[in-house]
Copies of this chain bind each other. A is one copy, B any other.
């Protein structure tokens, strides 16, 4: 164990530096290039995923009571993998049994194992990326980056935070209190870091690794066993992850049941799992309905939840009109807006804005943004790479139904995927409406659906953005303005309601992107998330310190 800590200590120290400096850093290469991952990496990854298809996924877990096969590829490809379904009580019992040896190897033992796991996962990035692409409908580049190295970054970040908190707790201290002329009182005190208990990580259907790794590694590093409950349509990336973890644990002489996969098909079974008295933390990404149910009912556990939100952009003015349009067009198109960070509501003063190429009316901006989206997606071969496929039938339905919400600026089109004829590919639906039409734009409409909202003036835009974020939450907020006093006004809003603000993005960074070690994902303030990837608060309460003390005689 100590060897693994030493082996990865340099990476760990760099990660700690990175979270304190928050510049750009990553140990995992984001280019899906043979240069970094080996000549055969892509081929091997594809083959590995093919080898899983249409058969049982091999995972030696206790309490097997059946099998389940639920995944449907948004690309219309056959999946047919069946996963073992295990008795929840047996999984939890096995997890509890594995907890004490995991506690006893200490913080550096655990952190070393976690870093080794991440390295193994990194080596399998192509395999996991193909699994993510297959099950979520992401385009290849996003599946690789967000599903692979960027997810690993978030996992490592959580481990670094966990280590940052644990490393300052000594395992032993000598306490010596002077007693004037009498001999000092001397005690030896010992401090044991104890995980709270079983951590349950409930994944989502669109980012089965990126949204799972932070909670998984935060809970694990701080001494807790973890049960991963993936979304029923994106099990494979989680199953591969869990299998890698179990292999590493076994190699290290640890109990592999420390981490297991819970394939659960009915909401009631997930609820029963979430309410189990031994489940002490729940990391959840998903709907408000279930997230709020968890917070209200799973009182035995700490719930870290990322829920829905209404992400906003305010356009007040710009020095780079075309850059702005290109940037927003890409944001709205990427993975068909199926990201928790995609902008939904773009607020613009009704009298239009000043730009570097003259003033633009509300309608001109609307048309120009529609044009920018059309241009970006004009070549179907490129468009499908950006858009990916629509992950769920609900989203397809929502795109259709949302065309009634306001005035259609740009209709959503179906695009045929050159490689996957059964894929459901859709371009963004862009609507416009008045600020008064709150019912249209003031709830999350997940998918490629956005609104241009007409505000009376820029102050009304500020007030509206504050109201949206305060009441409905937002993971991201964008602002375009070349007026320092207005930028300050929006910074103030961002502080008051607690939302990360991206200002004047016109080039290769997008408001929906959040980079580990530098960007906090979620603030834990507004309703879209009660926690952040990652900060001290994300890890500090996942473990507790139990002390003991006794007198010792000093020579």
Given A168-B20, A508-B179, A532-B544 in contact, is the A549-B503 Cβ separation under 8 Å?
yes
Tell me whether B22 and A519 are in contact (CB under 8 A).
no
A502 an interface residue at 8 Å Cβ cutoff?
A: yes
A350 an interface residue at 8 Å Cβ cutoff?
A: no
In chain A, positions 519-541 with a C-beta closer than 8 Å to chain B are 519-520, 523-525, 532, 535-537, 540-541
Which of B501, B523, B537 contacts A540 (CB under 8 A)?
A: B537
Most buried by B among A103, A189, A545: A545
Tell me whether A525 and B544 are in contact (CB under 8 A).
yes
User: In the assembly, what is the distance between CA of A145 and CA of B193, in Å?
Assistant: 30
Which of B174, B503, B518 contacts A548 (CB under 8 A)?
A: B503
Which of B23, B504, B545, B550 contacts A551 (CB under 8 A)?
A: B504
In chain A, positions 163-204 with a C-beta closer than 8 Å to chain B are 164-165, 168-170, 173-179, 185, 187, 189, 191-192, 194, 196
By a CB distance below 8 angstroms, the chain B residues around A547 are: 500-501, 519-520
Tell me whether B174 and A536 are in contact (CB under 8 A).
no
Please give the distance in Å from A303's CB to the nearest CB on chain B: 12
Which of B176, B532, B536, B548 contacts A500 (CB under 8 A)?
A: B548
By a CB distance below 8 angstroms, the chain B residues around A234 are: none
A501 — nearest CB in chain B belongs to which residue?
A: B548
Chain A positions within 8 Å of B, measured between CB atoms, are 19-24, 103, 164-165, 168-170, 173-179, 185, 187, 189, 191-192, 194, 196, 491, 494-495, 498-509, 515, 518-520, 523-525, 532, 535-537, 540-541, 544-551
By a CB distance below 8 angstroms, the chain B residues around A178 are: 24
Tell me whether A545 and B532 are in contact (CB under 8 A).
yes
Which of B185, B508, B519, B540 contacts A541 (CB under 8 A)?
A: B540
Tell me whether A173 and B518 are in contact (CB under 8 A).
yes
By a CB distance below 8 angstroms, the chain B residues around A537 are: 537, 540-541, 544
Rank and list the top 4 A-B pairs by shortest CB-CB distance, nearest first. A22-B173, A503-B550, A537-B541, A536-B540
Most buried by B among A192, A536, A550: A536
By a CB distance below 8 angstroms, the chain B residues around A174 are: 23
By a CB distance below 8 angstroms, the chain B residues around A170 are: 20-22
User: In the assembly, what is the distance between CA of A524 and CA of B191, in Å?
Assistant: 14
User: In the assembly, what is the distance between CA of A547 and CA of B178, in Å?
Assistant: 47
Given A500-B548, A503-B548 in contact, is the A23-B176 Cβ separation under 8 Å?
yes
Tell me whether B549 and A524 are in contact (CB under 8 A).
no
User: In the assembly, what is the distance between CA of A194 and CA of B537, in Å?
Assistant: 14
Please give the distance in Å from A331's CB to the nearest CB on chain B: 14
User: In the assembly, what is the distance between CA of A22 and CA of B536, in Å?
Assistant: 21
Please give the distance in Å from A163's CB to the nearest CB on chain B: 12
By a CB distance below 8 angstroms, the chain B residues around A505 are: 550-551
Tell me whether A507 and B546 are in contact (CB under 8 A).
no
By a CB distance below 8 angstroms, the chain B residues around A532 are: 544-545
A492 — nearest CB in chain B belongs to which residue?
A: B100
By a CB distance below 8 angstroms, the chain B residues around A540 are: 535-537, 540-541
User: In the assembly, what is the distance between CA of A507 and CA of B327, in Å?
Assistant: 71
By a CB distance below 8 angstroms, the chain B residues around A548 are: 491, 494, 500-503
Tell me whether A502 and B550 are in contact (CB under 8 A).
yes
A295 — nearest CB in chain B belongs to which residue?
A: B299
22 examples of A-B residue contacts, CB within 8 angstroms: A20-B168, A20-B169, A21-B173, A22-B173, A22-B191, A23-B173, A24-B176, A24-B177, A177-B515, A185-B507, A194-B495, A491-B548, A500-B546, A501-B546, A501-B548, A503-B549, A503-B550, A505-B550, A505-B551, A509-B551, A520-B545, A525-B546
